[in-house]
Amino acid sequence: MADRRWPPRRRPATSRDRGVVTAELAVALPAVALSAAAVVAVGQAAVAQVSCVDAARAGARAAARGDSASRVQQVTREAAGGAGAVVDVATSSASVTVAVHRRVHLVLPHGPVVTVGARASAETEAGVGVAADRGSATVLATALVALAAALAVLLAGLTSAVVARHRAASAADLAALAAASTLSRSPDAACTAAERVAQRNGARISQCAVGETSVDVSVRVRPAGPAGRLGAAIGRARAGHGPRGTGGGSQGWR
């Protein structure tokens, strides 16, 4: 007589079923691990890139103040994360460019190596130069791989936006300093100097307001890749020779 009970009893899992699930996991886990490693690698590269942008900015500011070449290199290297950073300082009669590069081991101490870098350019203050010195397991695994890949793409876009914001802040800061240095000699040329320095740092001036003792500068930097379709990063800074001195910069997005 047939079994008429409802619901029907499930067949207990056999060792063969467990073996199939284990084999599927064994095949899928490497793909999951590889996707997770890609997310970690993108994050490491992003952090290193941002630190290079900030370090180049710090070095350019130090050079514009007239610090020696060794001091500029020390400031830049410390801001970039230590002795592994390579710093180059190039000077001309009226400007200085600081470039910094770092080699980053991804995921593991002896993992793949990528090189990240950034550069910043500033105009030296009047009469100041840089001093020279010498010296269901399958379905679950597929979903995890797709999620990890989506996270990697999202993180890459976020990285591009963050780097653009830091570049905008750096360009605005250095452009405002150049404009303030020119303000005491030729107020009409202050915004021209700001535009020149902003272009050297990959930005475009969106606003330049000249006051009696200070200059307010706003710049725009469009991120690389798909993130650039969402808008441009905004950097603002004020610099001057009045009682309030040089103001800090700010970041935004538009």
- For 88-124, the pLDDT digits (tens) are 888 777 788 888 888 877 776 667 777 878 888 887 7
Sorted by sequence, the CB contacts under 8 Å of residue 105 that are 6+ apart come out as: 111, 112, 113
Q: Are strands 233-240 and 214-221 parallel, antiparallel or unpaired?
A: antiparallel
pTM strictly above 0.75: no
Buried b (16+ CB within 10 A) or exposed e, 189-205: ebbebbbbbbebbbbeb
Question: Quick one: how far is CA 24 from the chain centroid?
Answer: 40
pLDDT digits (tens, 9 = 90+) for 123-136: 776 555 554 444 45
Average pLDDT, stretch 8-21? 52
User: What does the alpha-carbon distance between residue 85 and residue 97 come to, in Å, rounded to a whole number?
Assistant: 16
Provide the mean pLDDT of the chain.
75
216, β-bridge pairs: 209, 238
pLDDT digits (tens, 9 = 90+) for 197-239: 988 888 899 999 988 888 999 998 888 777 767 778 888 999 8
Three-state secondary-structure class, residue 187? helix
User: What does the alpha-carbon distance between residue 176 and residue 50 come to, in Å, rounded to a whole number?
Assistant: 21
Statement: residue 245 has pLDDT above 50: no
Three-state secondary-structure class, residue 198? helix
Q: Please tell me which residue, 46 or 189, carries the higher pLDDT value.
A: 189
